[in-house]
Amino acid sequence: MDNIKVERLLINYKTLEMFKRFREYGHQELSMMEELQNNIVENNSESPFYGIYYGNNLAARMSLYEVKKEYDHYFDPPQDYLTLWKLEVLPDYRGNGYGRALVDFAKSFQLPIKTNPLVNSHGFWKKMGFQKAQYDMQRDLGENPLIWMPEGVREKEISK
């Protein structure tokens, strides 16, 4: 599957309906639905979600947020980074490189990436070059974050 295309997902009823097929469907999607119901939201609204379609079916998706260094509580020295979460490939589409394509897309921004892996997904993240973050136990929010650093960006330690 060389022609995998990652695209920003539109915030619309069709996309939110497709999200119901994902295991990690939750509060963020519900809040988007409420916003859509309470306001007129155009089809081109900015969305933090990116996905891969197989035909007309959303086969894989992730959420990607940029965190500015002034809000960074993880890196020393503070820096801009991406938070990647809700990465999921539907069971019928696994093994086709969709998860890797989503992670590679996030890496293309050349910013450090923090993710909180789902249960039993550590092997995948290790293959993607992510490492367990070193963090201050007093700041542990139960996240157990994993970190990826682009070439040339050095992480001293996560947290202070």
In the prediction, which pLDDT does 1 show? 52
- Calculate mean pLDDT across residues 103-131: 92
pTM: 0.79
Whether pLDDT at 157 is above 80: no
Whether pLDDT at 13 is above 80: no
Domain count, the chain: 1
Whether pLDDT at 22 is above 50: yes
pLDDT in tens, 28-47: 665 555 555 554 455 556 77
In a domain, 2, yes or no: no
User: Cα–Cα distances in Å, from 111 out to 53, 104, 114?
Assistant: 25, 12, 10
More confident residue, 74 or 34: 74
In a domain, 74, yes or no: yes
More confident residue, 95 or 23: 95
Check which CATH number belongs to the domain holding 58 and give it.
3.40.630.30
In a domain, 1, yes or no: no
In a domain, 120, yes or no: yes
User: Cα–Cα distances in Å, from 65 out to 82, 111, 156, 160?
Assistant: 5, 11, 22, 22
Q: What six digits make up the tokens of 136?
A: 């201050």
> Which DSSP state fits 92?
G
- Calculate mean pLDDT across residues 118-142: 76
In a domain, 44, yes or no: yes
3-state secondary structure of 53: strand
Place of tokens 């916003």: 35
In a domain, 127, yes or no: yes
Whether pLDDT at 23 is above 90: no
- Residue 117 is part of which domain span? 7-158
Q: 45-49, 101-105, 152-156: lowest mean pLDDT where? A: 152-156
